Structure 1
Amino acid sequence: MNVISFKEAKCRNCYKCVRTCEVKAITVKHEQAQIMNDKCILCGHCLEACPQNAKYFVSDLDKVKGYIRDGHEVIVSLAPAYLGVLKYKTPGQVVTALLKLGFSSVRETAEGAAFVTAEYNKLLAEGRMENIITTCCPSVNDLIEIYYPSLTKYMAPVDSPMIAHGKLIRQTINPDAKIVFLGPCIAKKREAESDARTSGFIDAVINFTEFEEWLLEENIRIDTLPDSSFENPDPKVNRLYPISSGVLSSVVASLEEPGPYRKFYVHGIKNCIDLFESMERNEVSGSFIEADICSGGCIKGSALNREFISRFKVKLDMEEAIPKVAQKDESFYERAKDISFHRVFFDRSPKDPMPTDKEIAAILQKIGKVTVEDELNCGACGYRSCREKAIAVYQGKAELTMCIPYMHEKAQSMANVVLDTTPNILIIADTDMRIVEFNTAAEKYFHITRAKALDMYLYELLDSTDFEEVVSTKTSVFGKKVAIKDLGNTVLQTIVYIPKLKGVLGVLQDITIEEEKNQMAYKVKMDTIEMAQKVIDKQMMVAQQIAGLLGETTAETKVTLTKLRDTILYDGMDVPDNSRRNP
């Protein structure tokens, strides 16, 4: 399932999310970033890093509202991070606010944390594990299972406080209730709903940001409400779980004796990665380690606006307010005697194909990296080295075009080729008509160097009226025939307004030779027409003369032939008088 999604229309090839992602769980396809769910540990850093807000958290809030609207018994498990995140006068006001929203009852997740602490104490007492890494943070669990699977043998085989609390509520209160976790973490959503080992105990996950937005919708102010009580027994020191060293504090407070394990905590993804790499080198042994992906612990959780939360102040305030006293009441733990909080962890590392050195070299060559010196390893694409990025390309996680220096060089090279080789005159001028670009064809045409032209104004070379009009109206002009009087030439002029430059691009096509050819062709045509007209006139005159001569000759011939006919017809007879007959 998707916990983080992308708005594709807003993704703009910045690769900031790839650079931010320490585990490179973001792939880029067709110039769009996408989360690889099987590799993502849901640290939430890409949500913060994206300058376009193209990524968003997939919310369960509507589902929760639906549970309440449909009349279900909805029990909220409230993460102890609320103590340092929400604005209230007394904790009981938070309980009242949740009840006003429609929740049936409010219980602290720290209640479940107490059972997790008890399980950790058992592991410490047994002493069978070489190292013990806490498994409260689902992002840490994912990081180890996916990227450091050799360390799964050190993961405490214990549920997280959220899952432990869900099991407790199901078993001891109502198996059919809808249980909602309210906390600071986006990774809890996948742990609750998508992991077959832990699903079924928590029905929905919402975060404190969503909770505060919901309160605004309902016009509820926490700090104006009366107090209400939590329905769980006091979990005591286990409320410290969300701060750095909070798990250690809970464990140490519950121990009868210190034990052989060295105890320390590590927070922040980079620190966790450093530790796990060190553990893979067998440099750490005999240690109980509290690990958390978020720097400062859950009070700086991935679903919070971390900018306005001081982890140092919250840590000091919570440690001062919460006594480091363990919950040792046997009746507290007796409720869960039939519940197993055991969890199994295993290797979930992806089996991506690896290219050979030859295949890597072939990919690098495609982006102009032929020698080792060509491999800048600038990290602009998000990968630590050019080779690492080439491997990602081979595995289908990245695209060749993600190499920003190569694409910049290619774009500049192509632009320079166009500027240098086009036969057309290209001139770019700013709004003051100062020349800012002048190509090779323009140098030849105006007989000045580019360097000199860049110190000139356009009107020093030609009539800039049309250019100034385009700047004023922001309306381009296409294919206008213009005579350059100083040079005695004619050009076909196209002027385009460029908003980003707040200037104009002029493309001048020299058509002087074509114009001369056209004028010569026109003169030849007119001369031909004149000659043809003279021939026609002469032929008409001759035709008229011929017609006149033919008319006289025809009349004489008719008279002669008529007489000849009559002579033959009336041979020896009196010839009738034909003087009255029509000829």
Structure 2
Amino acid sequence: MDVIGFKEAKCKNCYKCVRVCNVKAIEVKDEQAQIINDKCILCGQCLEACPQNAKTFISDLDKVKDYIRRGIPTVVSVAPSYMGILNYRVPGQVFSALRKLGFSQVRETAEGAAFVTAEYDRLLAEKKMENIITTCCPSMNELVEIYYPELTKYLAPVVSPMIAHGKLIKKEQGDSVKVVFLGPCIAKKREAENDRRTSGYIDAVINFNEFEGWLAEKKIEIMECGDELPDNRNAAVNRLYPVSGGILSSVLACAGIAAAEDGKEKETYKKFYVHGIESCMDLLENMKRGEISGCFIEADICSGGCLKGSAMENRGKSHFQARLEMEDAVEKRWVEEGYLDQGRTVSMARTFADRSDKSSMPGEEEIRRILKKIGKVNKEDELNCSACGYSTCRDKAIAVYHGNAELTMCLPYMNEKAQSMANVVLDTTPNIVVIVDSDMKIIEFSNAAVSYFKKTKAQAREMYLFELIDHTDFEYVLNTRTSILGKKVCYPDLGITTLQNIVYIKDQNCVLGTMQDITEDEDKIRQSQKLKFETIEMAQKVIDKQMMVAQEIAGLLGETTAETKVTLTKLRDMIINDGN
């Protein structure tokens, strides 16, 4: 099941998501960016970065509404980060609003966090692990399993507060009850529903944005709701889990109680926290090199902790302000005696495994072959500009080898190729090509134009079109956005006749003119027409002469005919008279 959805039609081939993805879990195929699910740690940075909102969180909200509509007992587990994210006068208004939506119980995830804290305290006391990394953040767990599998031995073998809470509720109320997690994180959805090691305890995951949209749909105002208590005991300091350092505060509170009971200090591990994916990766790199030992480390992929969760939009409130408000509101004491008794039989253990990519790496020869295809023949050709999203040209070539990137993602290469093709056209076309901006200043000039106008390209780019030719038609096209096609224009000063096409280029707000020299063709047409006229004139003279000859012949024939008639008449008369 996917967690991040993708709208193909909106992807504009910008590679911004590739650039912000620290683990490069995005592939580009057919010029469209897609999530590589088995490499994605669900940090949510691509969701925030995408300028076209092409990537979206796949929602469980309709499923939750269906549970309630069908009358299925549905318990909501509210992440304590609500205290620094939602707007209310008193926390009880949030619980009241959730009950109005139809949840059978409203409980704080911090209830489960108390059990997780107790497990961390136990690990600290056992002193068996060289380092202990908290495992409340599913994105951090995935980062280690997929990209630093050799460090899984340092992950605390403990479930997250969400899973712990789901286990407790299911144990208490049976598997027929539905448990919904309400929080700020998209990675919780995969942890709850897609990971066989942790699935089955949380039935749906929704975030605070969806919750507020649901309230608006039902016309429920949190500020108008009453002050109600949650359906769980006071989780006290464990409500600080969403705050950077909050887990440490809980562990220290728990350890303080245990130390007081034992009469001795159990402090053996150095404790610190890291947040933000780059800091977490830096930590893991240090651990790979063996530079860290004897540490208990609270790690959170989101910068600022869960208060800046991956499913949350910018709300105008800094996580510093939210943190201060939460620290002021939350009691720093450990939970009351007997709090953990109800879950003693519920296992909080979990396992981690090597989930790294086992695909083969290309050899040097294959990498060079791929680089050569994008003009990276020599080492100095490798710009490492990161425009494609990869840190180096070699990283990009490796991604191409694995089918996760395309050659055309190299923007310098494509720009050079486009410019090269444009230059080939301008340098080889026999036609005059002139491009002018909205002020009629020349911005492009073909080699043919150089030849006809006797101006170098550099000189032409410092000139306005009207300094060379009549610019009226170009200005008309600029103002009307109407092309002029196939118009004959003579330039007596140049001694040429041209066939012109002038078009408007919208994206650059400029005008392109192409002028084909048809002088020779026009000369041939004129010669042909002259020959026709001369032929017609000669034919007319022949006709006139023939008419004169015909008339002369006709005259002669007329005289001869008359004489013959007289002679024959006389002969006839003579013969007749002789017969008498």
TM-score with structure 1 length normalisation?
Answer: 0.90
Q: 1:540 and 1:200, CA in 2 relative to 1: closer, same or farther beyond 3 A?
A: farther
Among 456, 461, 481, the residue aligned to 1:474: 481
SS at match of 1:329: coil
Q: In terms of mean alpha carbon deviation, does 458-467 or 233-242 score higher?
A: 458-467
Aligned-partner Cα distance in 2 for 1:455–1:360 = 45
Number of the residue aligned with 2:45: 45
Aligned-partner Cα distance in 1 for 2:49–2:62 = 26
SS at match of 2:311: coil
Give the CA deviation at 1:46. 1.1
1:392 matched to 2:399:
yes
Q: 1:6 and 1:534, CA in 2 relative to 1: closer, same or farther beyond 3 A?
A: farther
Aligned-partner Cα distance in 1 for 2:405–2:72 = 46
Q: In terms of mean alpha carbon deviation, does 65-74 or 352-361 score higher?
A: 65-74
Q: Could you tell me whether the CA contact under 8 Å between 2:452 and 2:494 is conserved in 1?
A: no
1:445 matched to 2:452:
yes
- Quick one: which amino acid aligns to residue 298 of structure 2? E
Query: For residues 78-157 of structure 1, what are the structure 2 equivalents within 5 Å?
Result: 78-157=78-157
Aligned-partner Cα distance in 1 for 2:270–2:45 = 31
Among 293, 305, 309, the residue aligned to 2:313: 305
Q: Could you tell me whether the CA contact under 8 Å between 2:477 and 2:503 is conserved in 1?
A: yes
Q: In terms of mean alpha carbon deviation, does 143-152 or 483-492 score higher?
A: 483-492
Q: In terms of mean alpha carbon deviation, does 364-373 or 81-90 score higher?
A: 364-373
- Quick one: which amino acid aligns to residue 23 of structure 1? V
Number of the residue aligned with 2:222: 222
Number of the residue aligned with 1:25: 25
Aligned-partner Cα distance in 2 for 1:526–1:338 = 115
1:265 matched to 2:263:
no
| Equivalenced residues, count | 561
Aligned-partner Cα distance in 2 for 1:221–1:508 = 69
Give the CA deviation at 1:354. 0.7
Give the CA deviation at 1:437. 2.2
Aligned-partner Cα distance in 2 for 1:355–1:543 = 99
CA deviation profile, 1:444-477 (whole Å, cap 9, x unmatched): 1122233333333322322222222212211011
1:334 matched to 2:346:
no
Q: Could you tell me whether the CA contact under 8 Å between 1:97 and 1:225 is conserved in 2?
A: yes
Give the CA deviation at 1:79. 0.2
- Quick one: which amino acid aligns to residue 21 of structure 1? C
Among 514, 519, 525, the residue aligned to 1:518: 525
Number of the residue aligned with 2:574: none
Number of the residue aligned with 2:573: none
Give the CA deviation at 1:356. 0.5
Q: 1:76 and 1:542, CA in 2 relative to 1: closer, same or farther beyond 3 A?
A: farther
Number of the residue aligned with 1:279: 287
Number of the residue aligned with 1:574: none
Query: For residues 329-408 of structure 1, what are the structure 2 equivalents within 5 Å?
Result: 329-330=337-338, 332-408=339-415
Query: For residues 479-558 of structure 1, what are the structure 2 equivalents within 5 Å?
Result: 479-529=486-536, 531=538
Give the CA deviation at 1:486. 2.4
Aligned-partner Cα distance in 2 for 1:375–1:44 = 30
Q: In terms of mean alpha carbon deviation, does 84-93 or 115-124 score higher?
A: 115-124
Aligned-partner Cα distance in 2 for 1:134–1:198 = 16
CA deviation profile, 1:313-333 (whole Å, cap 9, x unmatched): 222222232222112522x32
Q: In terms of mean alpha carbon deviation, does 341-350 or 451-460 score higher?
A: 451-460
Q: Could you tell me whether the CA contact under 8 Å between 1:98 and 1:106 is conserved in 2?
A: yes
Q: Could you tell me whether the CA contact under 8 Å between 1:300 and 1:309 is conserved in 2?
A: no
- Quick one: which amino acid aligns to residue 299 of structure 1? L
Number of the residue aligned with 1:572: none
Aligned-pair Cα RMSD in Å: 2.8
CA deviation profile, 1:418-461 (whole Å, cap 9, x unmatched): 21221111112233323232222112112223333333332232
Q: 1:543 and 1:10, CA in 2 relative to 1: closer, same or farther beyond 3 A?
A: farther
Give the CA deviation at 1:22. 0.6
Give the CA deviation at 1:14. 2.0
Aligned-partner Cα distance in 2 for 1:451–1:276 = 55
Aligned-partner Cα distance in 2 for 1:103–1:45 = 31
Aligned-partner Cα distance in 1 for 2:550–2:444 = 69
Give the CA deviation at 1:539. 7.8
Aligned-partner Cα distance in 2 for 1:178–1:542 = 120
Query: For residues 187-206 of structure 1, what are the structure 2 equivalents within 5 Å?
Result: 187-206=187-206
Give the CA deviation at 1:530. 5.0
- Quick one: which amino acid aligns to residue 365 of structure 2? K
1:414 matched to 2:424:
no
Q: In terms of mean alpha carbon deviation, does 85-94 or 395-404 score higher?
A: 395-404
Among 429, 433, 440, the residue aligned to 1:426: 433
Q: Could you tell me whether the CA contact under 8 Å between 1:25 and 1:40 is conserved in 2?
A: yes
Aligned-partner Cα distance in 1 for 2:415–2:421 = 10
Give the CA deviation at 1:405. 1.6
CA deviation profile, 1:392-425 (whole Å, cap 9, x unmatched): 1111111111112222222222222221221111
CA deviation profile, 1:114-137 (whole Å, cap 9, x unmatched): 111122222222222221111110
Number of the residue aligned with 1:68: 68
Aligned-partner Cα distance in 2 for 1:396–1:133 = 34
- Quick one: which amino acid aligns to residue 334 of structure 1? D
Q: Which runs of 5+ in 2 are unaligned?
A: 260-265, 569-578
Aligned-partner Cα distance in 1 for 2:510–2:283 = 55
Aligned-partner Cα distance in 2 for 1:306–1:474 = 42
1:317 matched to 2:325:
yes
Aligned-partner Cα distance in 2 for 1:477–1:72 = 71
Aligned-partner Cα distance in 2 for 1:138–1:540 = 111
Q: 1:462 and 1:390, CA in 2 relative to 1: closer, same or farther beyond 3 A?
A: same
- Quick one: which amino acid aligns to residue 177 of structure 1? V
SS at match of 1:285: coil
1:245 matched to 2:253:
no
Give the CA deviation at 1:307. 5.7
